[in-house]
């Protein structure tokens, strides 16, 4: 184009018989640009051109089970038998092993407390027949507090497991840490 000639068009040029909105048959338009339109196999980038931050879920590293460490830890507390399975099967991730050991110890606490409550209630019933009735009330209150303590520990474990926090419970935390082979080490 020659800038000295005044009659030349300055806008986009279209082939003859085609208007600006015309598309040839079989034409597939490109996908819209946006944060989710990167080509396959490439790392997505945020609006500033930097790769996204790694989520906290990967903090404890990979597991040999092929699942997220937070998910395994939380499920271990939610279903205590799963905690035992994760403790026995997991070989590489100490965070999952530690939380599985704590969940297993809570499950063992439930079993022991069930036996003690059963035999304790039989024993207190025998004492009531003899005339010592206050012992049954005292034993019942202590057993209820222990049940409540185990439930609170289990709920606390579910929360810390799914959120990826490392918390060593009183009394059982030291035992679980020894079973797991030491304290968990973050992957980064």
pLDDT at 141: 87
Q: Is residue 49 part of a domain?
A: no
Q: Is residue 101 part of a domain?
A: yes
Q: Is residue 41 part of a domain?
A: no
Q: Is residue 42 part of a domain?
A: no
CA distance 141 to 175: 27
pLDDT at 136: 73
**What is the DSSP code string of 142-164?**
HHHHHHHHHHHHHHHHHHHHHHT
The domain total for the chain is 1
Phi, psi of 58, deg, nearest 5: -90, 5
Mean pLDDT of the region 130-135: 69
For residue 136, the SS3 value is: helix
Q: Is residue 96 part of a domain?
A: yes
Q: Is residue 19 part of a domain?
A: no
Q: Is residue 50 part of a domain?
A: no
Q: Is residue 2 part of a domain?
A: no
pLDDT digits 0-9 by tens, 28-75 = 665 555 555 555 555 555 555 555 555 544 688 888 888 999 999 999
Structural domain of residue 82, as residue ranges? 61-179
């Amino acid at each position: 184009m020659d800038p000295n000639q005044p009659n030349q068009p300055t806008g986009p040029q279209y082939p003859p018989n085609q208007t600006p909105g015309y598309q040839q048959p079989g034409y597939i338009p490109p996908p819209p640009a946006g944060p989710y339109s990167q080509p396959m196999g490439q790392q997505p980038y945020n609006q500033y051109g930097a790769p996204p931050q790694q989520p906290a879920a990967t903090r404890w590293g990979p597991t040999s089970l092929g699942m997220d460490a937070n998910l395994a830890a939380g499920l271990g507390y939610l279903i205590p038998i799963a905690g035992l399975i994760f403790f026995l099967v997991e070989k590489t991730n100490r965070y999952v092993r530690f939380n599985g050991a704590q969940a297993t110890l809570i499950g063992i606490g439930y079993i022991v407390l069930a036996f003690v409550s059963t035999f304790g209630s039989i024993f207190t019933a025998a004492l009531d027949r003899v005339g010592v009735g206050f012992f049954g009330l005292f034993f019942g209150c202590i057993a209820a507090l222990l049940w409540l303590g185990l439930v609170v520990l289990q709920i606390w474990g579910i929360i810390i497991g799914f959120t990826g926090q490392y918390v060593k419970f009183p009394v059982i935390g030291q035992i679980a840490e020894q079973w797991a082979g030491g304290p968990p080490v973050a992957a980064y």
